[in-house]
Structures are given as structure tokens and as C-alpha cells.
């Protein structure tokens, strides 16, 4: 094993708010002696998140995955739901835990999100909904997907785990589809230790969603549906409040890093940096590159290993595809020949270290390692 002289450079580091400020806030929690079940920190954070995401309705959760499970329950989806295989396991698992068969559709080769034409091809009598993912904060083709859903009488859920700051023409990404889920895991730009939320336009969903995350309890002696425990507690919410104070500054720092990466990697043949569509606001969540082996000179895995040998822990989000997991690969929609773009993209992507504290020297070092592997540019 190689001995490294310095600490690993991780793909991300969580935002750590000022400890004294957090302690002051926690003093309020201690004084109230109220730790969960809709406390003051939770309730006030819910309002702040609603304003921040510029949406009409929000429910906070203990993590993003349980929020997604409940989003599916809240819309009473059943049978089959069409989804992308290019995602984190939670997206597909959330369907399975609801006894729904995931039906994989292919992705668009540029945006890496669900391809609406592919979605249309796999709609059947059993289809009840579409579950898209705004992967890396890049929005799905929400206009097309919402349109298909309306025509076919389907519901739409967006996994917006990576998309806290994403907007389309100034409209918060949580306003599309029926329900959107955001993750507040520490690896996310905005976090609450663990946590997440659902956003939705229909205010009538709020009572149902909030009951579902609290065991279905309506009053002391009344349980009206089989709910679960998905509540965000006061310690999470207190942390979330303080992280919210420093999110804007973090985004600015990340954008400087993005600019440096873009400058230092701009002329590498076979390496592309995905571009956002017109009017789309950058979520600041990930910095991803795509390696086309035939032009670059070696494949994505070679780059991954070269970085690793120098203690740079870039990540292959999202390889393998969820359709290739042993639990899903026998589904008829999981056949690789049906998902050519997803397979191509999963073989090309690499998330490079991306967080505000990442020193400029480290960015340069990472870029040098990558450039040294690339085929020399022919003039
Ligand atoms: N949908 C999508 C599309 C998602 O990407 C996710 C989560 C979800 C749904 C589910 O939302 P949650 O239920 O998680 O709220 C990480 C995160 O755990 C996961 O939340 C995230 N997506 C996924 C993309 O990344 P891993 O398995 O890569 O985590 P891990 O432990 O390898 O950490 C990643 C890096 O972050 C490491 O380099 C270490 C660093 N790190 C991590 C933690 C937890 C820190 O520096 N400090 C920390 O506290 O999944």
C-alpha cells in the first residue's frame, strides 16, 4: 500500500457553522426541554426553508430517504413508477419499499436526467407515476415530464436531493411536479446533520404528509393511517438554522473553485464539464467531469485510480446504475440494451473534490494529475 504524507482530499466536507452560535441556539432547546415532535426549532426552520426554496408548502424530515418514501405514500402511488437508473440507491429503494415496481427509462446523454421520450415508451396500464432525479442539481426536463404526466394521468415526484439552490428562470426547483424531495445530509450544500424535506404545491397534502411522518397520529387516542417516524428533531433543526446562515458564502467559495477547475481543465481533450441550460441556476452541489476514453487517452477508471494513488478521493457518482444492482437487475426494464445512455454516462462521470475550504493548490494538483494522463493535444 502507498504511504501518503498528507491527509486525503475528500470529495466533499460538510459546512460547519460557528460553534458558539450553535451553542447559543442549543441553549434555547435545553431551556425548552423539547427535543422532537414539532418543536420550536423545527417549526421556525420549516418556515425559513419554505421561503428559501420559494415554494408554497414544506414538511421537514429526519432524512431525505424517509421523505421520499412518504412522498410516494402521500400520492398513493402503486403498480409501476418510471424512474432513472442514474442515481443514488435511495431513489430506487424508495419505490421498492412501497411495493412498487421500478421501471427504468433511459436518460438524456447531455443532461443525464430522465429522457421524456424514453419515459413515454415504457408507460403501461400499471404506471401510476414518474420519479425523476435532478442529478447533480441539473433539472430534469420538467416541462416535458409534467406535460406527459398530465396527459397520461400520472403523478410526478422529483428527487431534488442535489438541487437545493437550483432555479429555472428564477423559479425554485421545488415548484415542479406534485412533490419534490430535498436531502439535508452533511454531504449536501445545505444540511442539518441528517435531514430532508418535501415541497408541494397542493396545500391539502400537508395534513396527510405530516400525519405520515408521525405514525398517523391525529390525536392522543386517534391513529388514522399507518404512518412511520420521519420527524426532524430539534438538534437537527438547530444545526440547520445555523448552516442556513452560511450557505450563501459557501456557494460563492464553491463558484471560485469551479472557475479554477474550469480554467485549468478547459483545453483537455476528451474531458467535458456539463453545462447548465439557459436560465438554470447552479446548485453548487457537485463538480463533475466526463471522460471520453477514446479522446482523452484512458478511461474514467484510470483517472479515478490515478487520483486515488495521490490520496485524492474523487467519487464515481453514480456508478453502478441502480438497474445493475443484484436486487433490480432481473427486472425487464433493467436490461442494459434498453439503457444505452445511462450506461455510457455512468462510465464517464467523475465527481472531483468540491467544497469551499478546498485550497487552490489542491485544485491545481488535482488538475495536474488529470492533465498528465490526457493524450497530448495535437495542433
Ligand atoms: N436521492 C439522491 C439522488 C441522493 O444522492 C441521496 C443521497 C438521497 C436520495 C438520499 O438522501 P438522504 O437520505 O441521504 O438524505 C453520500 C450521502 O450519504 C448521501 O446522502 C448522498 N445522497 C450521496 C450522494 O453521498 P456516500 O455513501 O457517498 O457517503 P460517504 O460516507 O462515502 O461520504 C461521502 C464523502 O463525504 C466522503 O468523502 C466523506 C465526506 N463526509 C461525509 C460525512 C457523512 C464528511 O467529510 N463528513 C461527514 O460527516 O453517500
Q: Is 69 in the pocket of ligand 1 (CB under 6 A)?
A: no
The residue contributing the CA closest to ligand 1 atom 49 is: 186
Place of cell 497530448: 376
Mean pLDDT, the chain, rounded, equals 97
Residue 159 has pLDDT above 60, yes or no: yes
Buried b (16+ CB within 10 A) or exposed e, 165-183: bbbbeeebbbbbbbbbbbb
Of ligand 1's atoms, which has the minimum distance to the CA of residue 11?
A: 38
Is residue 332 pLDDT above 80, yes or no?
yes
Q: How far is the CA of 345 from the centre of ligand 1 (A)?
A: 20
- Supply the pTM of this predicted model: 0.97
- Residues 37-47 as b/e (b if ≥16 CB within 10 A, e otherwise) read eebebbeebbe
261-273 mean pLDDT: 96
Q: Nearest to residue 122, comparing CAs of 130, 111, 134? A: 130
Q: Determine the pLDDT at residue 82.
A: 98
pLDDT-derived band of residue 2, with 50, 70 and 90 as boundaries? low
Is residue 188 within 8 Å of residue 240, measured between CB atoms? Answer: no
Q: Whose CA is nearest to atom 25 of ligand 1?
A: 187
pLDDT, tens digit, 9 for 90 and up, residues 23-64: 999 999 999 999 999 999 999 999 999 999 999 999 999 999
Q: Is 87 in the pocket of ligand 1 (CB under 6 A)?
A: yes
Q: Cβ–Cβ contacts within 10 Å for residue 164, how many?
A: 26
Q: How far is the CA of 194 from the centre of ligand 1 (A)?
A: 10
Q: What is the DSSP letter of 325?
A: S
Cα 204 to averaged position of ligand 1 atoms, centre (Å) = 32
Strand pairing class (80-83; 101-104): parallel
What digits encode the pLDDT tens for the residues 63-119? 999 999 999 999 999 999 999 999 999 999 999 999 999 999 999 999 999 999 999
pLDDT reading at 166 higher than 60: yes
- Determine the average pLDDT of the residues in 212-239: 98
CA of 154 to the centre of ligand 1 (A): 30
What percent of the chain stands above pLDDT 70? Answer: 98
Q: What percentage of residues in the chain have a pLDDT greater than 90?
A: 97
Residue 297, φ and ψ in degrees, nearest 5: 115, -25
194 within 8 A of 184, measured Cβ to Cβ = yes
**Which pLDDT belongs to residue 378?**
61
289-316 mean pLDDT: 97
**Residue 163: partners with Cβ closer than 8 Å, 6 or more residues away:** 134, 137, 139, 173, 182, 283, 285
pLDDT score of 3: 63
Q: What is the pLDDT of residue 377?
A: 63
For the segment 258-278, the average pLDDT, to the nearest whole number, is 96
Nearest CA to ligand 1 atom 5: 88
Average pLDDT over residues 171-189: 98
**Structure-block grid coordinates of residue 295:** 479522446
Q: Is 317 in the pocket of ligand 1 (CB under 6 A)?
A: yes
Asked whether 193 lines ligand 1 (CB < 6 A), one says no
- What per-residue confidence (pLDDT) applies to 375? 82
Structure confidence at residue 5 as a pLDDT band (50, 70, 90): confident
* pLDDT band at residue 4 using 50, 70 and 90 as cut-offs: confident
Amino acid at each position: 500500500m502507498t504511504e501518503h504524507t498528507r491527509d486525503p482530499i475528500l470529495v466533499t466536507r460538510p459546512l460547519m457553522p460557528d460553534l458558539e452560535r450553535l451553542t447559543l441556539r442549543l441553549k434555547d432547546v435545553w431551556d425548552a426541554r423539547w427535543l422532537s415532535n414539532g418543536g420550536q426549532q423545527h417549526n421556525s426552520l420549516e418556515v425559513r426553508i419554505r421561503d428559501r426554496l420559494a415554494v408554497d408548502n414544506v414538511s421537514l424530515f429526519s432524512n431525505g430517504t424517509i421523505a421520499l418514501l412518504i412522498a410516494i405514500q402521500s400520492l398513493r402511488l402503486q403498480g409501476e413508477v418510471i424512474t432513472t437508473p442514474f442515481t443514488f440507491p435511495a431513489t430506487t429503494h424508495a419505490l421498492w419499499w412501497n411495493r412498487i415496481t421500478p421501471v427504468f427509462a433511459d436518460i438524456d446523454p447531455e443532461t443525464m436526467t430522465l429522457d421524456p421520450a424514453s419515459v413515454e415508451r415504457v408507460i403501461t396500464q400499471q404506471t401510476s407515476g414518474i420519479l425523476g432525479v435532478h442529478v447533480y442539481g441539473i433539472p430534469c426536463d420538467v416541462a416535458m415530464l409534467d406535460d406527459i404526466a398530465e396527459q397520461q394521468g400520472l403523478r410526478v415526484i422529483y428527487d431534488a436531493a442535489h438541487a437545493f439552490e437550483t432555479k429555472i428562470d428564477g423559479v425554485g426547483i421545488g415548484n415542479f411536479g406534485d412533490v419534490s424531495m430535498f436531502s439535508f445530509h452533511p454531504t449536501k450544500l445545505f444540511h442539518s446533520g441528517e435531514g430532508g424535506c418535501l415541497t408541494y404545491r397542493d396545500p391539502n397534502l400537508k395534513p396527510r404528509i405530516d400525519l405520515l411522518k408521525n405514525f398517523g397520529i391525529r390525536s392522543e387516542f386517534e391513529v388514522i393511517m399507518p404512518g412511520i417516524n420521519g420527524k426532524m428533531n430539534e438538534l437537527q433543526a438547530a444545526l440547520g438554522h445555523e448552516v442556513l446562515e452560511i450557505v450563501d458564502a459557501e456557494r460563492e467559495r464553491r463558484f471560485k473553485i469551479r472557475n479554477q477547475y474550469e480554467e485549468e481543465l478547459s483545453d483537455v481533450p476528451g474531458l467535458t464539464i456539463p453545462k447548465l441550460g439557459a436560465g438554470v441556476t447552479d446548485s453548487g452541489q457537485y463538480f463533475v467531469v466526463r471522460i471520453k476514453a477514446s479522446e482523452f487517452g484512458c478511461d474514467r477508471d484510470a483517472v479515478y485510480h490515478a487520483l486515488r494513488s495521490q490520496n485524492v478521493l474523487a467519487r464515481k457518482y453514480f456508478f453502478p446504475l441502480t438497474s445493475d444492482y443484484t436486487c433490480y437487475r432481473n427486472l425487464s426494464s433493467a436490461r442494459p440494451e434498453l439503457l444505452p445512455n445511462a450506461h455510457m454516462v455512468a462510465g464517464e462521470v467523475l465527481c472531483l473534490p468540491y467544497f469551499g475550504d478546498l485550497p487552490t493548490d489542491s485544485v491545481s494538483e488535482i488538475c495536474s494529475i488529470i492533465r498528465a494522463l490526457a493524450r497530448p493535444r495535437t495542433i
